[in-house]
Amino acid sequence: MEPTENIFRSIVEGSPFPVYMCMGEEKIIAIANDATLKAWGKDKSVIGKPFDEALPELQGQPFSTQISNVYHTGETYHGSNEPAEMLIDGKRQVNYYKFTFQAMRNSRGKIVGVICFSTDVTEIEHARQAMEESRHTLYNMVKQAPVGICIINSDTMIVEVVNDSYLELVGKKRVELENRHIWEAIPEAAEAYEPVMENAIRTGKSVIAKEHRLLLIRNGIPETVFVDFVYEPVTGFDGEISALMVIAIDITEKVMARRKIEEAEERARLAIEAAEMGTFDYDLQTDIVVTSPRFNAIFGFEDGVAHDTLVDSLHPADREIRDAAHRSAFETGNLFYEARIIWPDSSEHWVRVQGKVYYGSISKPSRILGTLLDITEFKRLQQQKDDFISVASHELKTPMTSIKASMQLLDRLIKVDPTSDKIPQFIDRGNNSLNKMLQLVDSLLNVSKINAGQLALSKTYFPAANMINDCCDHIRLAGTHNLILTGDTELELFADRNRIEQVVVNFVNNAVKYAPENKDIMINISKENDMAKISVQDFGRGIPTDKIPHLFERYYRVDASGVQYSGLGLGLYISAEIINRHGGKMGVESEEGKGSTFWFTIPLN
């Protein structure tokens, strides 16, 4: 027996874990290895002493009673993470142990003592307690958090804790969600989110989603909401994932508000594009201007340029207009001016600048946001209109002056010689001037009818050649030009004869007016598919290429000065509208120095 006892003692002494043995009713400490003595804060003098005498500081703690119970009953006792308060180096210290009290029997089976095997789990217990404290703190934070938070057990998928914000988000009562399986509580979300949640638990990686569209049954009503959410795995003190924290924020209002803003911005962008406006953002502090592609194009640049370059592009005579407008804008908050700019190719253009001044925290102007509009065409039309008024005044004044002079001379002559042969001449001269005034007034009335949509047509069948010969007879009688009619002289038209005559007369009169030195005027009639085509060709000086696109505009005159040729600049505009009302087309081919050919087509039926 002695060799066996020695082996046992050697094993106990060599164990790194506390092992000791108490013998008999008095629990005499028979064996206590170094690990035990260290845990107790004692030396070998305790060996041979009763347990209670050797460790008086354990009085009131359960260990002595537990040893006695094992000694008397023979039933093994297991302790798990139990505290033991010891006196170590003169200081009371609490450590935690996992231990076993087991009865020792002799060869006859009689209990002779109790052996204790223990492990110091103080660090583990402290970690567990810290984790529990953290968990408790976390749960309190969850309940008070302003965002929706739900903590789900990773093993059972039971909702352990959920705050009011999360309940409001999913439209559930606490009893419907807390301590229930997550997908039983929110079945409508299971199909989309169960795989995502399982993956987060399996991999330990967070899942973050922004503006996620979600269909929820909230208070019994299906609703589509937008949420930002996070699936965050939570690890226990053992490093294993023990829970999943779901953080969710209902951002439906934010998303819908942003979408409304985006829709408004898109409508504004479309409106700006439709109006062909450019936009700019001018930082007054840095002197940096950010411009849109359309803005750059209006200034004649392919890309954005420095602010100084834009200012340098202004016409020298208009720079003070720009400066004055900016000074006024800093006082009123609104910027507006119209000015000319010079493109890199030296061409001149008109622009309209509008903007709003924004102020910094110290009420100092910080930036200007605005739009830029190319008004070159508007200015051209405005100039045309002004020219028209000037020309119309001149054109009407000339026959009126002639009539007045004729009437004054006639009045004197009748008083002196009522039978004078000059009286008919003055009457004819007055009638001619009156007829010219009537033609001018008729042109203005036609424009008014066109604008009001009242240019009515009365269509009949008639031979094209007869119509041309009749309406151009005044040219032949004048004897200044030769009218040469060619083509399909048998072709019949179905149109408003008076209106078509008006177009032909306008073409022929223009040929006479702009080709005074060339006597021949060619008039051709042809059939092209189901259309009739009539063209008038002169051999005058021709029309500059840049003026051709504007010929059929209202008030446009090739000679804008109004000095060389009379007229209001309405003839071709009215003619184009007449042909358009017939469902036809009008055009011109011209080469400077060789003459021009004006033509129109109308349907045969």
Quote the CA–CA distance of 604 and 589 in Å, as a whole number.
Answer: 23
High-pLDDT (> 90) share of the chain, % = 48
Beta-bridge mates of residue 280 = 291, 370
316: helix, strand or coil: helix
- Torsion on CA atoms 145, 238, 76, 27, rounded to nearest 10: -90
Expressed in angstroms, the distance from the first to the final Cα of the chain is: 137
Identify the H or E element spanning 451: helix 423-451
- Residues 6+ positions from 414 with CB-CB distance below 8 Å: 423
CB 341 within 8 A of CB 349: yes
Quote the CA–CA distance of 42 and 87 in Å, as a whole number.
Answer: 9
- Long-range contacts at 526-529 (CB < 8 A, ≥ 24 apart): 526/487, 526/488, 526/491, 527/488, 527/491, 527/604, 528/601
> Is pLDDT above 50 for 175?
yes
181 secondary structure, DSSP code: B
**Residue 224 pLDDT class (50, 70, 90 cuts):** confident
Beta-bridge mates of residue 290 = 281
Length of the chain equals 605
Which tokens in the block code for residue 75? 């039933």
Quote the CA–CA distance of 184 and 395 in Å, as a whole number.
Answer: 92
Quote the CA–CA distance of 150 and 153 in Å, as a whole number.
Answer: 10
CB 343 within 8 A of CB 317: no
Residue 586 burial by Cβ neighbours in a 10 Å radius (0-12, 13-18, 19+): buried
Quote the CA–CA distance of 394 and 396 in Å, as a whole number.
Answer: 6
Which pLDDT score, from 0 to 100, does residue 561 have? 42
313: helix, strand or coil: coil
DSSP labels, 102-122: EEEE-TTS-EEEEEEEEEE-H
510: helix, strand or coil: helix
- Long-range contacts at 37-43 (CB < 8 A, ≥ 24 apart): 39/86, 39/95, 39/97, 39/118, 39/120, 40/86, 40/88, 41/86, 41/87, 41/88, 41/89, 41/93
Quote the CA–CA distance of 495 and 482 in Å, as a whole number.
Answer: 27
Which pLDDT score, from 0 to 100, does residue 551 have? 80
Nearest Cα neighbor of 146 from 134, 131, 163, 158 is 163
Kindly report which listed range (212-221, 239-248, 537-546) carries the lowest average pLDDT score.
212-221
CB 67 within 8 A of CB 55: no
* Residue range 70-121, pLDDT digits in tens: 999 999 999 999 999 988 888 889 999 999 999 999 989 999 999 999 999 9
Kindly report which listed range (212-221, 287-296, 498-507) carries the lowest average pLDDT score.
212-221
- Pick the more confident residue, 487 or 263: 487
- Torsion on CA atoms 590, 593, 594, 600, rounded to nearest 10: 20
> Is pLDDT above 90 for 69?
yes
Which pLDDT score, from 0 to 100, does residue 1 have? 46
Q: Tokens 């002197």, residue?
A: 287
- Phi first, then psi, for residue 334 (nearest 5°) are -125, 135
Average pLDDT of 340-347?
A: 94
Which pLDDT score, from 0 to 100, does residue 419 have? 77
Helical spans, DSSP H, in 307-422: 307-312, 319-332, 376-416
Nearest Cα neighbor of 156 from 184, 189, 190, 120 is 184
Other residues' Cβ atoms within 10 Å of the Cβ of residue 594: 11
CB 289 within 8 A of CB 283: yes
Torsion sign across C-alpha atoms 306, 309, 313, 317: positive
Quote the CA–CA distance of 373 and 504 in Å, as a whole number.
Answer: 40
Nearest Cα neighbor of 197 from 211, 181, 216 is 181
Which pLDDT score, from 0 to 100, does residue 566 have? 43
> Is pLDDT above 70 for 537?
yes
pTM: 0.40
For 542: left if phi > 0, alpha if psi spans -120 to 50, otherwise beta; the answer is left
For 71: left if phi > 0, alpha if psi spans -120 to 50, otherwise beta; the answer is alpha
The highest-confidence range among 22-36, 212-226, 351-365, 467-481, by mean pLDDT, is 22-36
* Residue range 410-469, pLDDT digits in tens: 777 787 778 777 777 777 766 766 765 666 566 556 656 655 565 678 899 999 999 999
> Is pLDDT above 50 for 373?
yes
CB 186 within 8 A of CB 172: yes
Kindly report which listed range (33-37, 177-181, 213-217, 375-379) carries the lowest average pLDDT score.
213-217
Mean pLDDT of the chain: 85
- Residues 6+ positions from 159 with CB-CB distance below 8 Å: 150, 151, 152, 153, 177, 178, 179, 180, 181, 182, 185
